[in-house]
Chain A
Amino acid sequence: MSEQTTSAVTESQARRPEVTTVGPPVPAEMENPVFVVENLDFYYGSHQALRGVNMKIGRNEITALIGPSGCGKTTFLRCLNRLNDLIAGTRVRGRIDFAGKPIYDPSLAAIELRRRIGMVFQKPNPFPKSIYDNIAIAPKVNGMKVNMDDLVEECLTRAALWDEVKGKLKASAFSLSGGQQQRLCIARAIAVKPEVILMDEPASALDPLATIRIEDLMSELKKDYTIVVVTHNMQQAARVSDRTAFFNVDDSQGVRTGVLVEMGTTHQIFTSPTDQRTDDYITGRFG
């Protein structure tokens, strides 16, 4: 048993994920970030889940958040659209600016913010409604003046789902497969014309083929949207993202808290990380 483990580690050390991101390489310094996060602390009750996170997220880039379980990457993602507000007893300290405005400012309406920041979840979560309604509900309640049929077709086409569902738009969203449901959720997110799409391990519940389709879709969508994606899968981060942020669990101060270890272009993180912990993680030595 112990022999096996050792050989697995040696193997994965050799298997440093290859960066194959689509599009021109991003500059090391970003000019016009969508999000600027400064000294973000996050608490669930008395438990601190994130400490001192500083990050900039670039426009029309795909930013991957990677790190071991419990490192706070999903918590961080959910801070960006204030979805953690729904959980009783949570608390935020520090500052997040979205498009130049602090999102935790009391005068800013979270509902308005969430209309500008779409989200795709780990498990596909379509509305218990028809495929058509899944796209149409949010634009309708948000009072968007558009031709709904055109919008539904446009969003489904962009989510690479139109050809599979065009004949059964009135069918229940639950009649679709898991991968199709996830693409429907992406179509639903882009229907309200957000500026950013947050994705929380969008492919982790899908089979490899459906995963590739979602990844292709992300590369396609980044022309128009800023994408922040949490992933457990380092190969996925290396395949699709422009920049990568590595989170880790830190217990140097006596409690286990999530910290941002390092962030850089995906190429830099996967070829020459500056922190030993990042190197250990991406070569599979832990996590």
Chain B
Amino acid sequence: MASVLEERREPAVAPSLSARSRRRSELTGPDRALGAALTVAGLIPTLALAFLAYQMVKEAYPAIIFNGWHFFTSKTFTIGNLYAPIQHKRGYAAPHGASYGVLPLLVGTLLSSVFALILAVPVSVAGAILLVEKLPQRIQGTLGIFLELLAGIPSVVFGLWGVYTFGPLLSRTVYKWVDSLGIPWLSGHTGAGEGLATASVVLAVMIIPIIASITRELVRSVPTVAKEGAVALGLTPSETVRYVTIPYVRTGIIAAAVLGWARALGETIAVLIISGNALNIYPHSIFAPFSTMAATIAAFLDSALTDPTGMAVHALAQVGLVLLAVTILTNFGGRLLTRRFADQALPVGRGV
């Protein structure tokens, strides 16, 4: 108590440099330890990403040189004939006939993930708003638990479900109907349901819990007083959602969608199982088999390791590098979008 009073009696002038350094020296051991621990913890994600990127580039480097632009122009991805004479290009060796073209895989990755996003975002947002605004508290809680459980189901289970049950079912029903409409690219042989359409739907089911649970929290955080403002003006519940709830959560929904998109871009095993694993072709219809970058890496890694020149593994690393770049770019794009909308969604009562 006495020391506090003494401190107060100090002249109230602006703290001089020496006073400031004295303040700094007042930091105790635990304070400093906490500061150091937080710095380290804060740096870990950045360092991990930098290290990962460095390792990927290093591993992919021979393939980058060997492939040149061919990597981005060729449709063909094959590790070549491992028993034939070895070919040499730009100082690197690769099996005869080896061709590493990423383009169909890049197209497949983007198409399936974007379709999944187009399906998942409206369902997630509508579901989250319904959950929070319309359902009684008790049902809300129960459904919320199921939503979170859905997010935790291993992707291989989704894959098996897609290939054995859901895909064939869709193929017999929805796909038949869509096909009968005769719209170009939306009609074609629907097969047993393996292909782009089923993969997109299953990816959507996988990312809905991510987007919906984030959106649910956002919708919950919309201030009651903001919604009451709309109701007091005689707006109906749906008008209130349109003019208050959605504008409030828009920025957050974009962020949630980017998170879901990243998941869909990188999903491997479920897509590998459902995609039909078609190589070297672009999907000629929405029902066509295809493949993605992540699925191809998983599918090829085993045989790539038997390549005596090692080029196949380098090429897969290069595919991985492209996937990493796409993921980072989508995150960046999402961030820019969020920032664009951010100034329109500040909390109520700012500047009071």
Contact string, A114-147, partner B, CB cutoff 8 A, digits 1/0? 1101110111111111000000011001100000
**Is residue A205 contacting chain B, with contact meaning CB distance below 8 A?**
yes
**Is residue B239 contacting chain A, with contact meaning CB distance below 8 A?**
yes
**Is residue B344 contacting chain A, with contact meaning CB distance below 8 A?**
yes
Interface residues in B302-352 by Cβ distance below 8 A to A read 343-352
Q: Chain A CB within 10 Å — which of B229, B236, B239 has the most?
A: B229
A124 to B141, CA, bound (A): 31
Q: Which chain B residues lie closer than 8 Å to A124 at the CB level?
A: 348-349, 352
A100 to B351, CA, bound (A): 41
Is A206 a contact of B352 with CB atoms below 8 Å? yes
Contact string, B217-230, partner A, CB cutoff 8 A, digits 1/0? 00000010110111
Is A174 a contact of B346 with CB atoms below 8 Å? yes
Given B233, B235, B244, B352, which contacts A128 in the complex, CB threshold below 8 Å?
A: B244
For the residues of A in contact with B, the DSSP-based class is mixed
Contact string, A186-202, partner B, CB cutoff 8 A, digits 1/0? 00110010000010000
Q: Which chain A residues lie closer than 8 Å to B243 at the CB level?
A: 127, 129, 137, 141
Min CB distance B199 to A, Å, is 37
Given B233, B345, B346, B351, which contacts A192 in the complex, CB threshold below 8 Å?
A: B233
The interface size of chain B toward A, counting residues with CB under 8 Å, comes to: 28
Sample of 10 A–B contacts (CB below 8 Å): A81-B232, A114-B232, A118-B232, A123-B348, A123-B352, A127-B243, A128-B248, A141-B236, A141-B243, A205-B352
Q: Which 8 A-B pairs have the closest CB atoms?
A: A178-B352, A115-B234, A119-B232, A128-B247, A125-B229, A174-B346, A114-B234, A138-B233
A142 to B236, CA, bound (A): 10
Contact size class for A?
A: 35 or more
**Is residue B231 contacting chain A, with contact meaning CB distance below 8 A?**
yes
Known: A86-B228, A137-B243, A185-B229. A125 touches B234 (CB 8 A): no
Min CB distance B98 to A, Å, is 56
A138 to B223, CA, bound (A): 19
**Is residue A172 contacting chain B, with contact meaning CB distance below 8 A?**
yes
* Residue ID in chain B nearest A189 by CB atoms: B233
Is A181 a contact of B234 with CB atoms below 8 Å? no
Min CB distance B35 to A, Å, is 35
For the A-B complex with A86-B228, A127-B244, A129-B243 known, give 20 more contacts whose Cβ atoms are closer than 8 Å.
A86-B231, A88-B136, A117-B232, A119-B232, A121-B225, A124-B349, A124-B352, A125-B223, A125-B348, A125-B349, A126-B348, A127-B247, A129-B344, A137-B233, A137-B235, A138-B233, A174-B348, A188-B233, A189-B232, A192-B234
**Is residue A3 contacting chain B, with contact meaning CB distance below 8 A?**
no
Given A118, A121, A141, A181, which contacts B228 in the complex, CB threshold below 8 Å?
A: A121
Is B349 a contact of A178 with CB atoms below 8 Å? yes
Is A112 a contact of B231 with CB atoms below 8 Å? no
Min CB distance A26 to B, Å, is 26
A137 to B242, CA, bound (A): 11
Is A127 a contact of B229 with CB atoms below 8 Å? yes
A189 to B232, CA, bound (A): 9
Min CB distance A121 to B, Å, is 6
* Residue ID in chain A nearest B238 by CB atoms: A141
* Residue ID in chain B nearest A116 by CB atoms: B234
A126 to B247, CA, bound (A): 12
Is A83 a contact of B348 with CB atoms below 8 Å? no
Q: Which chain B residues lie closer than 8 Å to A206 at the CB level?
A: 352
Interface residues in B228-263 by Cβ distance below 8 A to A read 228-236, 239, 243-244, 247-248
Interface residues in B154-203 by Cβ distance below 8 A to A read none
* Residue ID in chain A nearest B249 by CB atoms: A128
* Residue ID in chain A nearest B343 by CB atoms: A172
Q: Which chain B residues lie closer than 8 Å to A137 at the CB level?
A: 233, 235, 243
Is B351 a contact of A176 with CB atoms below 8 Å? yes
Known: A137-B243, A206-B352. A172 touches B344 (CB 8 A): yes
Interface residues in A148-192 by Cβ distance below 8 A to B read 172, 174-178, 181, 185, 188-189, 192
Q: Which chain B residues lie closer than 8 Å to A123 at the CB level?
A: 225, 348-349, 352
* Residue ID in chain A nearest B225 by CB atoms: A125
Interface residues in A55-96 by Cβ distance below 8 A to B read 81, 83, 86, 88
Is A172 a contact of B346 with CB atoms below 8 Å? yes
Known: A121-B225, A176-B351, A205-B349. A127 touches B231 (CB 8 A): no
A81 to B136, CA, bound (A): 23
Q: Which chain A residues lie closer than 8 Å to B226 at the CB level?
A: 125, 127-128
Known: A127-B243, A176-B351. A118 touches B225 (CB 8 A): no
Is A114 a contact of B344 with CB atoms below 8 Å? no
**Is residue A111 contacting chain B, with contact meaning CB distance below 8 A?**
yes
Known: A111-B234, A141-B235. A125 touches B352 (CB 8 A): no
A121 to B225, CA, bound (A): 8
Min CB distance B196 to A, Å, is 37
* Residue ID in chain A nearest B346 by CB atoms: A174
A247 to B109, CA, bound (A): 66
A148 to B231, CA, bound (A): 21
* Residue ID in chain B nearest A178 by CB atoms: B352
A119 to B235, CA, bound (A): 13
A32 to B348, CA, bound (A): 38
Is B239 a contact of A141 with CB atoms below 8 Å? yes
Min CB distance B350 to A, Å, is 5
* Residue ID in chain A nearest B239 by CB atoms: A141
